[in-house]
Structure formats: C-alpha cells, structure tokens
Structure 1
Amino acid sequence: MKVFLGIILIIGFIKQVYLQCENSCHLDEECLPFIINGTTHYSCECNATIYNNDPDFPLLLSNVPVYCSPNQLAIKLTSCLGQRMLDFNILLPDENIVDNQCFSHSEAVNFDFTEFQFNFSSTATNCQAAISMNSTHVTYSVPVWFKYNTTNQIVIIYNDILVTYNCSYPLTMNASLNIGLNPYLSPDHLSIARFGTHVLTMQLFKYSNYTGSYTIADLPIYIKVGTPLYIGASIMGPDPQRFSMKIDSCYATPTSNPSDPIKYNFISDSCPLPGFITISFIQDGVDLMVYFSMKAFRMARYSQVYLHCSFSLCAGKCPPSCSGTQ
C-alpha cells in the first residue's frame, strides 16, 4: 500500500509541475512562480544558472540553431540570450552591419526568438562568405561578429566574439519524370527531388525551343516511337555565378520506381552510351539549366517508360568532353 501511495504522490507531483507553466520552457529557461493578489502563477524565466554574472557567450552562441535555405542561412537567438547580450553591451548582428556584411535582416518569432538572416549569394558584393568543396558537398561559411560596444567605454572587459556558421549542400542530385504514357514514351510534367534546400526540376517540353512543358492537364499523351522528346532540368538555390549543372547519367524503367531491376541505361559519365537512341545535348555544364533531346522509344513488352536522371553541380563551367550527340 505504501508503494502504491508513493506512486500516486509522484504522479500527482509530476502533473502539478507540468501544469505550472502553460507552455514548455526553452532550454535556457526555467518555470518560476510569481504571486498576483495572493494567487501563485508560473511563467518561463531566463535560467539564472546559465545567465549568471559571467555567462559563457561563446558556448551559448556555438549552440544556437542554424537553418540553411537557398543562398541564405539563419540563426535563432532566444529572447533570454539576446537580452542578456544587450545587458552586457554586446552588439547583435543587426546593430553592427558594418562588420556583418552578409547580414540580410532580422525578425522576431513569436516573441521567443529573434531570427537573423545572412545572404551568401555572389550578388551580395560585400559579403565575405567562404566557399569550400569536397567530392560530395559545397559548404558556405559565414562569419558573424558579436562585438563588444566600446562607445563611451573607458575600460574594455570583454572580447569580441566571432562565430562562423556553416551550411553544406550536396553536389549530386537525382530527378525523375514521374508519369509514364501509354503506349508510347512520354513521361509527363516534372518530379521534384529535394536535397537540403536545393530544388531540382526535370520536365518534358512540347516544342524544340524548350517551351510549353507538359502538365497533368495534357494527359493522356500519345507520342509515336521516334518522335523527338525535349527534356530540360533546372536547379534552384546554387549561385549561378559560381556553379553550373551537368547531367551525369540517365536510364529508363517500365515503372515509376527508380530502383526497378529492369532498366535501360542511355547516358553514363555525362555521355550517351552506344546504342540505337539518338541523344543531343543542347545545353549542359554551362549554367544551372540542362537541355537535351532524344528519340522516343518503347521498352519491349511494356507499355510505359519512365526516365530517371542524375545531375551534379560543378564550380564554374563543366561541359562534357564527349561530342554531345550520339
């Protein structure tokens, strides 16, 4: 009975603590009581253990969340951290845009966070973002200064803080034309594959100047074997002044499953494979759009054909070394 009663008391205590604050407190907050007209209430307050007389601001800033989007990164500072830095006379990024050349803008988020955004596109001429690449990813590094405000200060007791925030993006992406046609090859519209925050789009066009993409409204679409197919791909996010996109490989399957064991490869290592399909590269490896054409074909015993391609980013321009036509 004592054990059972103890469990009840523990559950009751947990429930009481849980109900003290209406909303969950942030990691740098604690739920504390306050009294109004003799009634005890609770609210989330800045944790005094973290924000003591000498907070470890470098450690706190190294742990703020970082969000990566095309050509931009954002950091979110809690209201406790932001206010405490102001209390210690440390300038936030929007108060020191001279040193934070990549700074874009800031905005309050539900009064709990302030989001600071930084651009790293080449169009931001003064931005000092560094770019590094390995075999799989490109990484943008943005230096963010949190400087001690020395205005009217006789004695300087704090160091400036420089934090470098990084966003990495994959160099290789995949996309598929995800709608097969009966009875002839004519995969429709587009399929979007998201990797990080880069968006890759591949679509089938009606005309030889790569306009008038097919949509679901055009279904059913019948294309005779041997009819030219005009296929294009584009990517949103990478800096067009620094990167180009090229096609790595393409293959066809009789189903929409890219892992279908039945497949026919027709582009490999950025070049057409020997075979009966005529492929022409109209634009490849010179900017962020790839255009190529090929003749429609049918896979024996199957009424539909789906195309799947792999693309990669490269620094500068990287046109294929093959002739481009097979």
Structure 2
Amino acid sequence: MKTLFLLAFCTLLKYTGAVCYSGSSPVLCRDDSCNGSCTTDNGCTCNDGITNCIPTGTLCPMDDNTCCASLNDLFWDNDLDCCTDKPICNPGCFSDETCVIENNVTSCICNKTIYSGLTISGLKPSVNCDGGTMIASVSQCKLKQLGYNYSSFHLINDSINCTYIYPENIHNVRVESIQVKAVIGWCGNTVKDNSSKIFFTNTLHIDPFRGPLITRNPIVFNFTCEYNLTMKTSLNFALNPIVSSVVIPSSGPEIGSFTVTLAAYSDAQYSVPIQLDEEILVGSNIYLGLFSPNLDGNVFALRVEKCFATPSSNPDDPNNVLFVSGGCAVSDNIESTVLENGISTEARIQINAFLFQGFSQVYIFCDVKICNKTNSCKGCNVDRSLKADLPQLGIQLNLQANDDFGSSGHHTAVSWPMLLVYLLGLLSLKLF
C-alpha cells in the first residue's frame, strides 16, 4: 500500500513539475528557530526582524512572488501553498499558454504542442452578435502557430474609424477581437433582409508576419450576424434615420410617462428607415411608424389623433394638409391610410409622397396620446375631452419631383388657405 502511495505521489510531482522549497538557507518562515511572518510592506522576516525567510503555508498573505523571487529565484505556487522552482506567472497563463523564464522574468508564451498540426482550414473566428455590435474573435496562439500577425486585423474598409481591435479572454483563451457596428453603410457592411430578419456581413483580413520571403497569403474571413427586425430595432441599423421622440403622460387610472418615437420608413415591413440625407420621390409610398418601447401593451395603447403636413418647420403654418383626424385617415388631396392605431404600442400610417408648390421639404406633425385599454382607443371619433394641446412629434422629409410620373403624378399639394388666397386674387382681377 505504501508503495502504491509513493508511486502516486511521484507521478503527481512529475505532472505538476513543482516541488516545495525545503532548504535551510534561507530558512523557512515556519521553522521554530525563525518563527517568521510576512507583511506587504516588509516581506517575509524571522521574529528577529532582520533575517529574511521563505514563506510557506498560511505565512504568505501577499499571495504573490515577492518573497520567493527576491530571496532565491523561486515562485509562489497557489496550489501547493509554498515556494517552488517551477515558473509561476502572475497573472496566470491562459489554457493554451505556458509559463517560462526569459531574462530572469516569467512570461506566458503559446504552448505549441496544443496546436501541433493546425492548418488554416481549422482556423475559424468565433462571432458574437450581441446587441447592435458584431464581434469577430480569433485565438492569438493559433494565429502565431500559423505565422499570422493578430495585430493586423482589419475590415474591407481599413481606415482608423473602422478599426476597433482589442485582446480579450474567451473561455480561458487569449483572443484578438474586432468590433463592427451593425449599421447599414458602416465600413463596408453588406446587408440583406427579409420580412422578419436583417443580415449584416463584413470581411476580416489578417496578414502574415512580415519577413524577407512571402510564403503565406492573407487570410480572409466573411462573418455574418442576423437580427430580428422590428419598427424599433431597424432604427438601430441605420446611420442617420429620420426620427423624433417625445415624453408624454398616460391617461386613465395608471399614470406614468412614456417615450413615443416617430420615424419614416420606405417599406411596408418598417425595416428600412428613411435617412436624413435621402431624397424621396414624389408619388412613392412613405410609411410613418410610431411606437413606445417602454409601454405596457397589456394595459395601454398608443393612439394617433391627428397628422398633418406643412412646407415649413412651423406646425402653425396656415399652409397645411391634414391626412389623419380623429384617429383615421381623411381625404385632403393626399392619399393616406391608417394601417394600425389605438390597439397596441405601435401605430402605422401610409401616405403618398407629395410636394408643396415651391418647396422641396415637407414637415410631418402628429398629435399622439397614451390611452388605457379599458377606454376606447380605437375608432374615428375626435375625443372631445382632450385638451387642446396634445404632445406632438415632427419630422422633416426631403422630396424630389419625379418627372417619370407625369403631371398627374407630382401630387403637388395646395391647401385650403392657399386655395382661398388664389380665389380672392382671381376675384380682385375681375373687379378691376
């Protein structure tokens, strides 16, 4: 039995590669003749306060190499609770690294035996698609083993504004990572979408280490992230979406404040937001989306009471066109459809793009409210109990006349106030 125990102990020592220091010079702190102690300020000394000693067991509260290294080029082993001659790196090495002594200093280097036989075909980046950021990561040691420089990470667009690289620890492996914003048009992103998801793809380039001979080609990885598309999330994927937000109070027995956002989209799925610098062709469809992300849809609903358009940023501009009133579409020279209103945390309105005579911008204003579902949020009746001033959101759209539509397709709006001025002008000409 003793023989078996001895064999097992020797095997353990061989596996760990470490043996506790048991010499007498310097003396062990626990030795009766020393009876030493260790402090952060003074290191490890015997009870005479002069003689240095080697820590062991509980007599090394610093938990680092300070005492071991300064006295006898030893290293503190946390597992054995003693000083050993086995190199111990602090902080510790990752799972694919080993600790060595270089120039009397311990450092972590890649363990080449782990990745022996590795080929480029076995080198694949891990991809994290958390939130609105794509992160591609590759093991630093794998790249070194294959002769590639992990610090050379870059995208299709390798400008400084598109290069966000950094080292990190993933599953106890040191990796190099690069961040990519999941935004349409950002740094070479290519985008595909369907009715429910949007897919972002970019390309990671890694160069080989430079030398007198070129023996390797750069590595190129395409990586893709997919995200669920909603009216709200699609705004996160646009560089400069047209949006407006306002904080409004709720009505009913449960009082609170909620943020409501108005945005413009170019598709019926509300997945492609219209950008600030984008010009919209007269006659094309514009989809107005309103939503309140922090609204409890089981209790409350978002209702649009009124929407109108003006040629200026002044909502009181007398030259205006009304296209939603009392929660429903109205006909005032503009084609409009209320697709959803007063039944959920979202409202959807479709209008046909138009121009005011002599203007290239159209300003859209919508009056909204939060109503309790126990009351009527739906229907086309104007709520007479509402205050005169409802919370209002406004956005600006840039329009461009489309000559291909012909004169009947320009949808140039002439409001009732402007028409009245025109008729009065004709009457005055007849009088004179």
TM-score normalised by structure 1 residue count: 0.44
Q: Which has the larger radius of gyration?
A: 2
Structure 1 or 2: larger strand share? 1
TM-score normalised by structure 2 residue count: 0.35
Structure number with greater CO (CA < 8 Å, separation at least 6) is: 1
